[in-house]
Amino acid sequence: MGGGVITLVGSHVIDLITYLTGERAVRVHSVVKTFNPNTSAISGIRNITSPDYCVFQLELTGGALVTVTLNTHLAQSTFTQEILICGPKGYLVVRNGDLYGFKNGCGKEDVLYLDVEDMNFNSDVIPKPYIKGLFKMISALKESFLNIEENKSGWIKQPVSVASTFDDGLYIQGVIEAIQRSNLNREWTKVSIITQEPDPNPLLSAAVRRSGTIKPLILKFPLLNRTRLCSIHHNYMF
């Protein structure tokens, strides 16, 4: 049921990686698990099948490797997020909303940015970085449609120009599907992105392509002429 932690959190992490690096994943390797099939609210004949733990690696177009761990089994109930970017001269790390940097030879981390902005909104469900992103997205949408009467085109694109696009969504979907396939096959899996609309009924189309499928139509409709049969055949094909 659902996509579990991969869809709930992993989709945003994949999008964040692309935003920070400007690169996309070409191959993935993953381990996906459901360690707790039952809870106090769901037990008995019903079982939870959506994953609650996932570790995956991404190989990006530029050759960089990314390791992501999504874990819902931590002892503390509060959300924690850490993003670590390593390079030849040191590393940058984001812990929740705070940014730290370490340069080789310095011996300690430097505080580069502290998130002290007061959102006047507290939530035990949505982490603060995600709340800030949600607020900014809503504000940008409001600004885009604020002067709709003056702008004849209906909306202004500039405020939401940095937002994710439909192509970004297709890419994230392709990465998630590759993560799931990699877990099943236990191997590195290539990321495939949909470039054309999939067949809504591939089983029916495959059946119609077989010559034996047309014969029952002839027996069932003996009075139909050849032109009508061709029309039925193409309707099934498309």
> In sequence order, which residues have a C-beta less than 8 Å from that of residue 141 and are 6 or more positions away?
159, 160
* Structure token pair of residue 96: 């929740």
Give me the DSSP letters along the chain: ---HHIIIIIHHHHHHHHHHHS--EEEEEEEEE---S--SSS-TT----S-SEEEEEEEETTS-EEEEEEES--SSSS---EEEEEETTEEEEEETTEEEEEETTS-S-EEEE------S---SSS-HHHHHHHHHHHHHHHHHTTTTTT-TTSS-SGGGTTS--HHHHHHHHHHHHHHHHHHHHTS-EE-----SPPPS-HHHHHHHHSGGGHHHHHHH-TT--HHHHHHHHHHHH-
Q: What mean pLDDT, rounded, does the chain reach? A: 80
pLDDT at 117 exceeding the cut of 60? yes
**Residue 24: per-residue pLDDT:** 95
CA–CA dist 233, 235 (Å, integer): 5
Phi, psi at residue 33, to the nearest 5°? -135, 155
% of the chain at pLDDT higher than 70: 75
Beta bridge partners of 54: 32, 70
The tens digit of pLDDT for each residue in 198-233 reads 676 766 666 565 555 444 444 444 444 433 333 333
Under 8 Å between Cβ of 15 and 9 = no
| pLDDT for 124 | 66
Neighbours of 30 (CB within 10 A): 25
pLDDT at 189: 97
What's the pTM? 0.74
Of the CA atoms within 13 Å of residue 84, those in its CB half-sphere come to 8
pLDDT at position 157: 83
Q: What is the pLDDT of residues 124-176, one digit of tens each?
A: 666 777 888 888 889 998 888 887 666 566 778 888 888 888 899 999 999 99
- pLDDT higher for 1 or 116? 116
Q: What angle do CA 59, 64, 70 make, to 5 degrees?
A: 60
- pLDDT exceeds 90 at position 66: yes
